[in-house]
A = this chain, B = another copy of it.
Amino acid sequence: MAQNIYDDATFFAGYSQFPRSREGLAAAGEWPALRAMLPPIAGLRVLDLGCGFGAFCRWAAEGGAAKVVGIDLSERMLETARQRSPGLPIRYQPADLDDFELPGENFDLVFSSLAVHYVADFDALCARVRNLLVDGGKFVFSMEHPIYAARANPEWTLDSAGNRAFSVSNYLSEGERLTDWIASGVVKHHRLISTCINNLHGNGFRLDWIDEWGPSDAQLAAHPLWIDDRLRPLFLLIAAGADSPGSARA
Residues of B within 8 A of A165 (CB): 151, 155, 157, 167-169
- Nearest B residue to A160, CB-CB: B155
Interface residue A20 (Cβ < 8 Å from any Cβ of B): no
24 CB < 8 A contacts A-B: A136-B250, A157-B157, A157-B158, A157-B159, A157-B165, A164-B169, A165-B169, A166-B167, A167-B167, A170-B230, A171-B212, A171-B214, A171-B230, A171-B232, A172-B214, A172-B229, A172-B230, A172-B233, A173-B230, A193-B193, A194-B211, A207-B207, A208-B249, A208-B250
Interface residue A192 (Cβ < 8 Å from any Cβ of B): yes
- Complex copy number for this chain: 2
A98 smallest CB distance to B (angstroms) = 25
A167 close to B171 (CB less than 8 A): no
Q: Per-residue 0/1 for A201-219: is the Cβ within 8 Å of any B Cβ (1 yes, 0 no)?
A: 1000011111110100000
Interface residue A198 (Cβ < 8 Å from any Cβ of B): yes
Distance A232 CA – B136 CA, assembled complex (angstroms)? 36
What's the interface size class on A, roughly?
35 or more
B212 close to A194 (CB less than 8 A): yes
Distance A163 CA – B150 CA, assembled complex (angstroms)? 14
The majority secondary structure among interface residues of chain A is: mixed
A169 close to B167 (CB less than 8 A): no
Residues of B within 8 A of A208 (CB): 201, 249-250
Q: Per-residue 0/1 for A146-183: is the Cβ within 8 Å of any B Cβ (1 yes, 0 no)?
A: 01000100010111100111111111110000000000
Among A157, A167, A230, chain B packs the most CB atoms within 10 A around the CB of: A167
Q: Indicate which residue in B192, B201, B207, B230 contacts A201 across the interface (CB closer than 8 Å).
A: B207
Interface residue A231 (Cβ < 8 Å from any Cβ of B): yes
Check A233/B171 contact, CB under 8 A, given A249-B206, A250-B241.
yes
B194 close to A232 (CB less than 8 A): no
A236 smallest CB distance to B (angstroms) = 8
